[in-house]
Structure 1
Amino acid sequence: MTPISVLIIIVTYFVILLGVSHLAGRKVDNAGFFVGNRKSVWYIVAFAMIGSNISGVTYVSVPGMVAVGNFAYLQMVLGFVAGQVVIAFVLVPLFYRMNLVSVYEYLENRFGISSYKTGAGFFFISKMLGAAVRLFLVCLTLQLLVFAPLGLPFILNVIVTVTLVWLYTFRGGVKSLIWTDSLKTFCLIVSIILCTCYIASDLHLSFGGMMKTITESRLSRLFFFDDINDKRF
């Protein structure tokens, strides 16, 4: 695929993304910006959370992690599932009963303003560091596929990417993000399916043959209980 083809796909995606953001963000007040007026459809929110939690880091790096550490990463994914269950059945009902917007309001009500500021501060720092890594990886990928072949500098790549992200998030808040993240989730799932089909076709494997190859591979090991010093333990 040529750099121009990749650029056309990216531009088309962002045009659709900005259109969805504009439509979802119209006539949004403070309640709509921060909590979506508490009227968001639950299954749309759940679908959007997939795209919100999974970034380009996951998409690009996890296959490499499998090559290095087998399927050990899936252990953390199972932990995510357990954590989401706790959030759904413990924290969300609690927040609704107390009419809270975030967990930091609960920390303030339960433990005081110091806990509120400490928790919010650590969250802010962790998210800034995580966002920086994710942004760098996305920009690095775009640089290799589009900007470098066109002779464009990396700094322009970063400025364009940050600007586009800001444009589709600054107006509509949570109400807008629910729909833009739903679009990202849809594109992510479609791309995974297409990549899997392409790889299977290139290797001349059927779906059953692909699953058999994976299960028989030494890289398909999930748990490592035989060595407590192994970082995959």
Structure 2
Amino acid sequence: MRALDLAIIAVFLVGTPVLGIALSGRQRSSADYFVGSRRVPWWAVTFSVVATETSTLTVISVPTVAYLGDVTYLQLAIGYLIGRVVVAFVLLPRYHAGGMVSAYGFLGTRFGNGMQGTASVTFLVTRLLADGVRLFATAIPVKMVLAALGLDVSYWVIIAAIAVVAVLYTYLGGIRAVIWVDVVQMGIYVVGAVAAVFVLAGRLPDGWFPALVDEGKFRLFDFSSNILTSQYAFLTAVVGGALFAMASHGADQLMVQRLLACRTVRDSQKAVIASGVVVFFQFALFLVVGAMLWSFHDGADPSALGLSAGDELFPRFIVEQLPVGLSGLLIAGIVAAAMSTISSSLNSLSTSTISDIYRHVTKREPSDATVLRRAKLWTLIWAGVFVLFASLFTSTDQPVVEVGLSIASYTYGALLGAFALGILVRRARQADAIVAFVGTIVVAAVFVLGVEFTVDGESASLAFPWYVPLGVLVTLTVGGLLSLRHPTPAPEHPEPTHQEVG
């Protein structure tokens, strides 16, 4: 790496927390820290949502998916858009009507504190695991950059350094700092990716695009009948993607908190739907990068290129092939993508800990100033835990984007199923919901770890996009059957009118 590249990365790492603090303003209350006092413009929330869910996995791992296969991964984005439309018109109005700062406040109002706490704890564990993968993924290209300088730095040191920068502006600026820095960070990695496409195009032989088409690299739809184990069969990807998006953007505090920072429910609806459109084109951009890398390397197996994993393909190209300055910009973009996810997770973990667990465990109503102090303290605590979790992921045999999505899918089905149970089954009460929720987690674990299907004479596991639909089905079935114990339907719950945060 050249001095200019390193200087760009250094300026980015120093400037990011400064920018976040400057843009956020002073945090005067817990509402400022949690939801920016609901004064953030919808377009900024759109880009923040995209930056948060994109993370490093998209930047370095989605190209690997296209390199090793084709662009059928894009079918997931179609499902994502459908799912967001449902979230916009079914769940967001309920959250705004209750003045909530946590998605799980709805479960507390509908079922009780026990269900709210159960869902919150599940969210905390899921985020730590899923975003631990994302944080580890960021360390891959950074380690390669340092190796090029002759420095052998361990993954956990890199992970800790990234976490420190992210926690600085999250701690001091709250959700507003997170959102505005996300907007800037998204711009950095998108500009870098577009520049990489132009550089690649200039180094490929004439006729590379028709050759890739003939090779099937731009196949978009997979109408395979093997829908149970094929991750990107059309039905699997669209149905699974839609329900995954309903869970991730309607039942996951990480995204819901951003959407609740909008001024009105209409703004929140515009933000979540627009984010689905932007994500579609982002996926397409990085899949095209992967297809072009396949042409650049003549389709060579990653191991034949001296790589230990496919996810090193794009990072190596960035380090070794991009011009001076552009290489540093794209590495900074990769780190930016990671920090946008980690900072978002830290703020949402802190919010959920305080609003869903702390207040109910202590059974006290602390002052708003106390809530704000506790929220910042938990931001620091979760940052330390994040580093430990991320250090668990030292290697993987499949693209880490698939690992990250699979981890989130383990519990998303139960979370989304609990919301569906509360809305659709009037008889259901808290005990029914908790038993169904826990039962769904157990069933998901059985399918993930033990159930295999025989396809064309070979054993294969259930495709990860089916984890969420399976979880929703189990939760609704178990919860619905248990609710039949009650002689009469539970009384209609009015929409909540208040959700205190301090």
Same fold by TM-score greater than 0.5: yes
SS at the partner of 1:103?
coil
Q: How has the CA–CA distance of structure 1 residues 225 and 144 changed in structure 2, closer, same or farther, with 3 Å as cutoff? A: same
Identity %: 27
**Number of the residue aligned with 1:9:** 8
Q: Go from structure 1 to structure 2 and tell me whether the alpha carbon gap of 1:51 and 1:210 turns closer, same or farther (over 3 Å shift).
A: farther
**In structure 1, C-alpha distance between the alignment counterparts of 2:230 and 2:51, rounded to whole Å:** 31
Matched, 1:105 2:105: yes
Q: CA–CA distance in 2 between the matches of 1:147 and 1:173?
A: 35
The Cα offsets for residues 105-164 of structure 1, whole Å up to 9 and x where unpaired, read as 001111212221121122111110111111111112101112563424214323212211
For 1:27, the equivalent position in structure 2 comes to 26
More helix by percentage: 1
Alpha-carbon distance in 2 for matches of 1:61, 1:113: 39
Q: Decide whether aligned partners of structure 1 residues 214 and 99 sit closer, same or farther in structure 2, where only a CA change above 3 A counts.
A: farther
Between the aligned partners of 2:55 and 2:209, the Cα distance in structure 1 is 25
Opposite residue 100 of structure 1, the aligned amino acid is M
* Structure 1 equivalent of residue 252 of structure 2: none
The structure with the largest alpha-carbon Rg is: 2
Per the alignment, residue 48 of structure 1 pairs with: 48
8 Å Cα contact 2:17-2:166 kept in structure 1: no
Counterpart CA distance in 2 for 1:190 and 1:55 is: 15
Q: Which amino acid in 2 is paired with 1:182?
A: V
Q: Which moved more, 1:59-68 or 1:6-15?
A: 6-15
Query: Structure 1 pair 226/130, CA: closer, same or farther in 2 (3 Å)?
Result: closer
Whole-angstrom CA distance in 1 between matches of 2:95 and 2:188: 31
Q: Is the 8 A contact 2:24 2:180 kept in 1?
A: no
User: 2 CA distance for matches of 1:125 and 1:59?
Assistant: 24
Q: Is the 8 A contact 2:72 2:232 kept in 1?
A: yes
Q: Counterpart of 1:226?
A: 224
Is the 1:139–1:158 contact (alpha carbons within 8 Å) kept by the matching residues of 2?
Answer: yes
Give 1:204-215 correspondences, 5 Å limit.
Answer: 215=213
Q: Which residue of 1 aligns with 2:127?
A: 127
Note the C-alpha offset of 1:225.
Answer: 2.0
Q: Distance in 1 between matches of 2:4 and 2:211?
A: 33
Q: Helix, strand or coil: the match of 1:33?
A: helix
Preserved CA contact (<8 Å) 1:69 1:232: no
Indicate the SS of the match to 1:54: helix
SS at match of 2:96: helix
Aligned to 2:201: 200
Q: Retained in 2: the 8 A contact 1:32–1:174?
A: yes
Q: Which amino acid aligns with 2:192?
A: S
Match of 2:166 in 1: 165
Deviates more, 1:219-228 or 1:145-154: 145-154
Q: Give the counterpart letter for 1:46 in structure 2.
A: T
Change (3 A) 1:189 1:200: same
Q: Take 1:89 and 1:214, find their aligned partners in 2: how far apart are those partners?
A: 40
Contact kept? 1:6, 1:146, Cα under 8 Å: no
1:151 aligns with 2:146: no
Distance 1:38 1:146 in 2: 41
Q: Are 2:146 and 2:153, in contact at CA under 8 Å, matched by a contact in 1? A: no
Distance 2:148 2:159 in 1: 13
Q: Offset of 1:6 from its aligned partner?
A: 3.3
Unaligned runs of at least 5 residues, structure 2: 234-502
Residues 169, 222 of structure 1: alpha-carbon distance in 2 compared, 3 angstrom cutoff = same
Residue by residue over 1:76-116, the C-alpha shift from the partner in whole angstroms, topping out at 9 and shown as x without a partner, is 11121112222223222221111111210001111212221
**In angstroms, what is the RMSD of aligned CA positions?**
2.1
Deviation at 1:210, TM superposition (A): 6.9
Q: Could you tell me how far apart the structure 2 residues matched to 1:115 and 1:148 are?
A: 50
In structure 2, what is the Cα distance between the partners aligned to 1:225 and 1:198?
34
Q: Which has the higher contact order (CA 8 A, sep 6+)?
A: 1
Which one-letter code corresponds to 2:78 in the other structure? L
Contact 2:75 2:232 in 1 (8 A): no
Q: How far apart are residue 204 of structure 1 and its match?
A: 5.6
Deviation at 1:9, TM superposition (A): 1.7
Quick one: distance in 2 between partners of 1:140 and 1:47? Answer: 25
Shift of 1:64: 0.8
* Structure 2 counterpart SS, 1:55: helix
Contact 1:57–1:137 (CA under 8 A) maintained in structure 2: yes
CA deviation string 1:40-60 (max 9, x = no partner): 111111122211110111110
Partner of 2:282: none
